[in-house]
C-alpha cells in the first residue's frame, strides 16, 4: 500500500483525481490540500464523494505532506508547481505533476508559451513526460512525472504512429480540437458563463496555443526532425470531453490497411487505446461522449483520396485520460503495479 497525498484537490482535475484514488486498491490517501477550502470536508466541494471519504481539506503544508507520503500528486495552478515540486523531490518523495510546469524540455519554449522564465530549469531534463504509450520505460524509474496537457494527449496519440511510419507530410499538419467546459477549470470567467457558452462554438487562442509546444516536442522526437503543427481549439457545448481532428496530407497513395498497420504496430498491447473505424452505426468514428469518466483514448481515421488527405480523430475525457486518469496510470507504472489498477472504468451510453 502506497501512501499518497494530493496538493491542490479542490479543482476539477483534483476532484477527478480523488474520485480515482479513493477506490484505488493500492493507495492510502493521506492528505488533500486546498488553500481556499482548508477545514471543509471534501464532499462539500466534490459532492460525488459524499459517503465515500471522510477526509477534509488540509491547509497547504509541505512538512505535513512530506511526513505522511511516498508519492505526491500536485494539481496546482500553472506556475506554482515549480515552487513546490523541487522541495518535495529534495525530501525524497516521488511526484506526479498535473500542471504545465515541467512538460517542456526546453526553457526557451516554456518562456515562449507561458510568457515567463522557468524558475527551475535544472528539473526540465529530469522530468519525464507522462504519456505511457510513448515513455513507459522512463516513467518506471522516474522521480518526477509531468502529465501532458489534455488536448496535447489527444493530438499526440493519434499522430505518433502515423509519423513514425512516414505516412504523411511533416510540414502540413493541422489540428482542430473541440473541448468541453471543464477544460477551462473551476474558476468561472465571462467566456465560461452559461449564457455565453451554451448554444455556441467558440474558437479561442486560434494561433499560438500552449499545447503546441508539447505536441511539437513529442512528434519531433519521434520523427527525428523538426515537426511544425497548426493548432486551433474550440470551446463547445459539452462539459467533459475532447475531439481532436488532425488534417494531414499523405506521401503518395495509402490504403486503410497501411494506417491500421501503423496503429496496431504501436498500440496493439496498449490497455487504454481503442481503434474505432466502423462503417456502420452512429459511433463509427471516435466520439468523446462514450469516453466520459474513462481512461480510454479512442482513435480513428478516414482517407480523402480526392485531396490526398488522411484525417485522424482522437476522443477522450479531458479530466480522465487527459489529466487525472493519466496521472494514476503513471503512478501505477512507477509503483510496479498493473497500470490498469483503479482504471478499469467503462463509459456510459447513452
Supply angle C-alpha 134, 145, 152, rounded to 5: 55
Q: What is the DSSP secondary structure assignment for residue 127, as one 8-state letter? A: S
- At 183 the pLDDT is 87
29 close to 21: Cβ distance less than 8 angstroms: yes
Q: What are the cell numbers at 122?
A: 535544472
- At 317 the pLDDT is 98
Catalytic residue among 150, 297, 330, 335: 150
Instruction: Give tens-digit pLDDT for 51-75.
Output: 999 999 999 999 999 999 999 999 9
Backbone angles phi, psi at 252, to 5 degrees: 90, -175
Residue 349, class by beta-carbon neighbours within 10 Å (0-12 exposed, 13-18 middle, 19+ buried)? exposed
Q: Look at the block and give the residue holding cell 481532436.
A: 244
Largest pairwise CA distance in the chain: 62
Instruction: Give tens-digit pLDDT for 271-329.
Output: 999 999 888 888 999 999 999 999 999 999 999 999 999 999 999 999 999 999 999 99
Summarize the confidence of residues 138-151 as an average pLDDT.
98
Domains along the sequence of the chain with CATH: 2-126 (3.40.50.720), 151-318 (3.30.360.10)
Percent share of the chain, pLDDT over 70: 100
- Decide if 150 is catalytic: yes
Q: Of 175-184, 187-196, 258-267, 315-324, which range is least confident?
A: 187-196
What's the pLDDT band for 330 if we cut at 50, 70, 90? very high
Amino acid at each position: 500500500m502506497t501512501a499518497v497525498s494530493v496538493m491542490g484537490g479542490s479543482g476539477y482535475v483534483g476532484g477527478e483525481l480523488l474520485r480515482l484514488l479513493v477506490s484505488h486498491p493500492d493507495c492510502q490517501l493521506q492528505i488533500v490540500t486546498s488553500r481556499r477550502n482548508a477545514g471543509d470536508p471534501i464532499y462539500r466541494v466534490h459532492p460525488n464523494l459524499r459517503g465515500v471519504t471522510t477526509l477534509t481539506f488540509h491547509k497547504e503544508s509541505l512538512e505535513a505532506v512530506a511526513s505522511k507520503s511516498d508519492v505526491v500528486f500536485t494539481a496546482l495552478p500553472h506556475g506554482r508547481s515549480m515552487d513546490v515540486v523541487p522541495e518535495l523531490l529534495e525530501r525524497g518523495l516521488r511526484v506526479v505533476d498535473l500542471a504545465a510546469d515541467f512538460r517542456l524540455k526546453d526553457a526557451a519554449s516554456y518562456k515562449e508559451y507561458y510568457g515567463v522564465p522557468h524558475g527551475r530549469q535544472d528539473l526540465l531534463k529530469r522530468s519525464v513526460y507522462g504519456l505511457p504509450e510513448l515513455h513507459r520505460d522512463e516513467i518506471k524509474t522516474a522521480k518526477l512525472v509531468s502529465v501532458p496537457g489534455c488536448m496535447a494527449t489527444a493530438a499526440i496519440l493519434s499522430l505518433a504512429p502515423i509519423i513514425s511510419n512516414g505516412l504523411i507530410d511533416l510540414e502540413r499538419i493541422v489540428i482542430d480540437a473541440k473541448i468541453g467546459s471543464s477544460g477551462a477549470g473551476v474558476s468561472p470567467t465571462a467566456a465560461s458563463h452559461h449564457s455565453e457558452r451554451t448554444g455556441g462554438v467558440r474558437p479561442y487562442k486560434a494561433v499560438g496555443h500552449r499545447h503546441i509546444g508539447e505536441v511539437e516536442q513529442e512528434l519531433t522526437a519521434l520523427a527525428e526532425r523538426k515537426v511544425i503543427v497548426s493548432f486551433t481549439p474550440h470551446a463547445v457545448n459539452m462539459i467533459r470531453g475532447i475531439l481532436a481532428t488532425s488534417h494531414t496530407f499523405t506521401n503518395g497513395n495509402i490504403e486503410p490497411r497501411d494506417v491500421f498497420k501503423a496503429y496496431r504496430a504501436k498500440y496493439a498491447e496498449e490497455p487504454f487505446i481503442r481503434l474505432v473505424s466502423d462503417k456502420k452505426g452512429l459511433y463509427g468514428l471516435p466520439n468523446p461522449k462514450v469516453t466520459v469518466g474513462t481512461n480510454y483514448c479512442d482513435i480513428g481515421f478516414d482517407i480523402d483520396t480526392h485531396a490526398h488527405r488522411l484525417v485522424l480523430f482522437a476522443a477522450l475525457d479531458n479530466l480522465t485520460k487527459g489529466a487525472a486518469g493519466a496521472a494514476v496510470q503513471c503512478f501505477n507504472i512507477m509503483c510496479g503495479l498493473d497500470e490498469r489498477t483503479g482504471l478499469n472504468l467503462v463509459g456510459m451510453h447513452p
